[in-house]
Amino acid sequence: MRTFDKRFDQGHIDGAFVPVTGEELVDIVDPATEEVVGQARLANRDDARRAVEAAMRAQPAFGRTTVAERMAMLERLRASMLTHADEILEATITEYGGPVARAQWVANYASQCFGDAARVLSTYAFERPFGGSTVVMAPVGVSALFAPWNSTAGTMASKLASAIAAGCATVIKPSELSPWQAHVVARAIHEAGLPPGVVNIVTGRGLDVGAEIGTHPGVTKLSFTGSTPTGKLIARGAVDTMKRVSLALTGKSASLLLNDADLDAAIPLALGAAFMNSGQACVAGTRLLVPRARTAEVVERIRSAVAALRVGDPRDPATTIGPMVSRAQFERVQHFIRRGIDQGATLIVGGEGRPDGLDRGWFVRPTVFADVRNDMDIAREEIFGPVLSVLPVDSEDEAIAVANDSPYGLQAYVFSADAERARRVAAHLQAGTVLINRVAPDLLAPFGGVKQSGLGREFGVTGMEAFLEPKTISAA
């Protein structure tokens, strides 16, 4: 038997770390080196059921906790997560390949979101008069939280913060690609000392562990972050027992560069939007809509800026783009680069294969295509890698129409020197969020998608309300 530094074979069930009983072992591969650095045993359906049953036992008492008690729990979670920030950082870099600046952001956010949730909770009115009745916002019940691999710690923590604030016991199912990150987060949660069963964590595959949790009659609410095809499966499975569903799904975000934009400011922001998290971001702004008259200038600036981006060792602070998470993701990006060339887009920088000097690791070349039409695959499908499409448009109206011509609508970006004009354009965009002259998210404002990018909202007050249900009490 091989020995590894990192070996994970436990779930967190009913307040304790217990061995999972699944048969499948998965290697943990450092995507920057392709070396196997650890191994994890995946949970199975039995483990999933035990986790749900523990949450069901915990729910009645947890649902009756006071605001002050839950604020104290959130504060303990915030502090514990902060204590583990360095381990979250290390796991995010080694298991996922997140560049250090990004991994540090995730590690900080995993703590910060509990503080944010406590603040939201402190001022929330759980009882309000409506008509002649009293409406009580009650916890929805046992909640399943599904996390993707591209922001494991952040997604686990952010969903959990809202669920705890609302008074919902949880079962968390991280991706099978992130057992190490999930384990570190589980340790931090464990050390916060919540009542047994309030947070249960089982890492396993979607099709068995995920499906078991997602269809279990004892689960009332599903909060899922992942791809649109999986989100559809989850929603279909939820309907039999009428589970409440929040879905944060695929994106294919447009960045609109208006003709008055200051390119010195806008181009770095647009590239930041396109290549954040090595391009493995649901909110990546991967369609850049540029006034035709300015396209040549924009393309030249992008060509030199992208050629100068550092791709490589995610531990190096100068690195902007780390490896793709896996060989499959590397191949997916290669496929779309070939598709862009085959369908007639103009390759202006990047292309197939690894960057020069990197002969191992799942590194891809940051790639930009010009002359892209919105019906090409690279403009329609989420690539989930550092591949940007530049689409020329002839007017502001056309930019809006092209931006909206997508099955998705998660986030859009508008770059303009005229704030009023940018807001007018934002009003016409079909997206859950529009960021104007910025790429940083507002973590207290509602976040989610329209169209096939999802259902419902996370973060802040709306994030907590996704775990609450209004109950009307009318007396004679």
Q: Tokens standing for 159?
A: 């969903």
The neighbour count for residue 16, using CB atoms within 10 Å, is: 11
Q: Which is nearer to ligand NAD, 10 or 416 (CB)?
A: 10
**Site track 357-396 with ligand NAD (rule: CB under 6 A), x = hit:** -------------------------x-x------------
Q: Does 323 bind ligand NAD (CB under 6 A)?
A: no
Q: Which of 322, 274, 334, 333 is nearest to 298 (CA)?
A: 274
Give the total residue count for the chain: 476
Q: What is the DSSP letter of 80?
A: H
Q: Does 150 bind ligand NAD (CB under 6 A)?
A: yes
Rounded to the nearest 10°, the torsion over CA 268, 270, 272, 273 is: 170
Among positions 148, 167, 197, 355, the unique one binding ligand NAD when judged by CB under 6 A? 148
End-to-end CA distance of the chain: 71
Binding part of the chain for ligand NAD, among 5-13, 127-135, 146-154, 159-167 by CB under 6 A, reads 146-154
Residues 235-274 that bind ligand NAD (CB under 6 A): 248-251
Q: Does 181 bind ligand NAD (CB under 6 A)?
A: no
Among positions 361, 366, 454, 463, the unique one binding ligand NAD when judged by CB under 6 A? 454
Smallest distance from ligand NAD to CB 260, Å: 30
Q: Does 223 bind ligand NAD (CB under 6 A)?
A: no
Q: Does 72 bind ligand NAD (CB under 6 A)?
A: no
Q: Which is nearer to ligand NAD, 410 or 468 (CB)?
A: 410
Q: Tokens standing for 445?
A: 């404002």
Rounded Cα distance, 455 and 231, in Å: 10
Bridge partners, 387 (sequence order):
367
- Residue 300, sorted as left (phi over 0), alpha (psi -120 to 50) or beta, turns out to be alpha
Q: Which of 199, 210, 222 is nearest to 13 (CA)?
A: 199
Q: Which is nearer to ligand NAD, 192 or 249 (CB)?
A: 249
Q: Does 412 bind ligand NAD (CB under 6 A)?
A: no
Q: Tokens standing for 371?
A: 């002359």
Q: Tokens standing for 4?
A: 């590894």
Smallest distance from ligand NAD to CB 117, Å: 17
**Site track 32-71 with ligand NAD (rule: CB under 6 A), x = hit:** ----------------------------------------
Q: Does 282 bind ligand NAD (CB under 6 A)?
A: yes
Q: Which of 152, 354, 67, 380 is nearest to 254 (CA)?
A: 380
The neighbour count for residue 39, using CB atoms within 10 Å, is: 18
Q: Which of 46, 50, 40, 59 is nearest to 16 (CA)?
A: 50
Q: Does 149 bind ligand NAD (CB under 6 A)?
A: yes
Q: Does 225 bind ligand NAD (CB under 6 A)?
A: yes
Q: Which residues bind ligand NAD (CB under 6 A)?
A: 146-151, 173, 175-176, 205-207, 210-211, 214, 225-227, 230, 233-234, 248-251, 282, 382, 384, 410, 449, 454
